[in-house]
Structure 1
Amino acid sequence: MVPGCAARVSRCAPSAMGLRCLERVRYSTRGNCMKALGLITISLCCIGAPLGAQDTTHARHPAQRPRVGMMGQRGEHGEMDDMMPMMREMMAPMMRAMAYNPEHLLSRKDSLKLTPDQITRLTAIQTSAKSAHDAAAADMKAHMAALSVAFQAASPDSNALRMHFDAVHAAMGKAHWAMLSASAQARAALTDAQRQRVDAWVNAMEQREGHEHTM
């Protein structure tokens, strides 16, 4: 993993989380040996910010790719290009679930016509999940940094790499669960009509992204 990758992931804008984070990982990860870490980094994008699902009344601009001349030869990224379909497939279920992230729902409170009681309940769910998520994310980033340092050795210690790799996965699972649990509770707090509206946003986003990927 390129040093500082975790820090760049944490700066991914919530409003363009999916595609922009994929692009940042795509252009900052090199080599066969780091494929698995690239997938972990993408998972960080899923848990580090709420879903960027937009109301169809909001314009969405595709992320602009860096120029090849600035980032190096295009061939260096060929293997990551081959992984892009798998990455998108892996993220799809999480993206749909994260549409119900309480923070995302609260940011759309007017469009969803949330009641005062719903706002109070969603805020409580968000607050409860945040501490567990933040603790797991911090642990995960610490082990990712340690993993990066360990890999810089001329002959990396496979035992040390495995220890930090397993720790990253464990922390990632805790962070994912904190967000999924919060999303499940938030979904239950909505009415049928509100759930249908959120699902429509996600469907519209997936259709737009599918169209962009075929261009």
Structure 2
Amino acid sequence: CSACSRVYVQKNIANQFMEKLVSKVKSLKIGHPWEKDIFLGPVINDDAVKKFQKASDVAKKDGKVVFGGSVLKESDYQHGYFVEPTIVADLPQEHELVREELFLPFVCVIQFDSFDEAIKMANKTNYGLTAGIFSKDQKEIEAFFEKIEAGVTYANRDASATTGAMVGAQPFVGWKESGISGKGAGGAYYLLQFMREQTQTRCE
């Protein structure tokens, strides 16, 4: 649920970033999750495969599939719901694939000119579970934490840049349609929402 589905990258490094991203994704091993060297297992069911295929077809029509976009059916993949990890570019910010959560190995890469533009685009969604930033500018990092509309946020986290929370160390909470109460599981305020207050007045 918190896997990265959108990447906003500054235009002047976009080509370099895309080359590295594609190279990394090409190296990922797909297969049965009980095998130690597998990075990506199957999606959950046939409906997810159909959703993936539809999203890939739409991406090819409205944008550009830079890598992936296919359902895997050959050899070891014929007994399972396997799909290629997919990278998409050149979709407009308002596109449904950019704004909706697919729960699939599917990432949209969007370019931006300025930091403020990136924050505005990142917030233009109904969801707000996790978000991350990579920057050497401390002022940008502080502005990101202040302005981003997400419950679990990171700066310059190498591993799983936007994914999940550190269990036992951080509350896990979503904003907007990614949550209901605004209280994070594992946080100091989470248990209180399952309790009721009672005022007792005793007169003698």
Q: TM-score range by the shorter chain?
A: under 0.3
Q: Greater relative contact order (Cα 8 A, min sep 6): structure 1 or 2? A: 1
State the TM-score, normalizing by the size of structure 2: 0.24
Considering only CA atoms, is the larger Rg found in Structure 1 or Structure 2?
Answer: 2
Structure 1 or 2: more helix by fraction: 1
Structure 1 or 2: more strand by fraction: 2
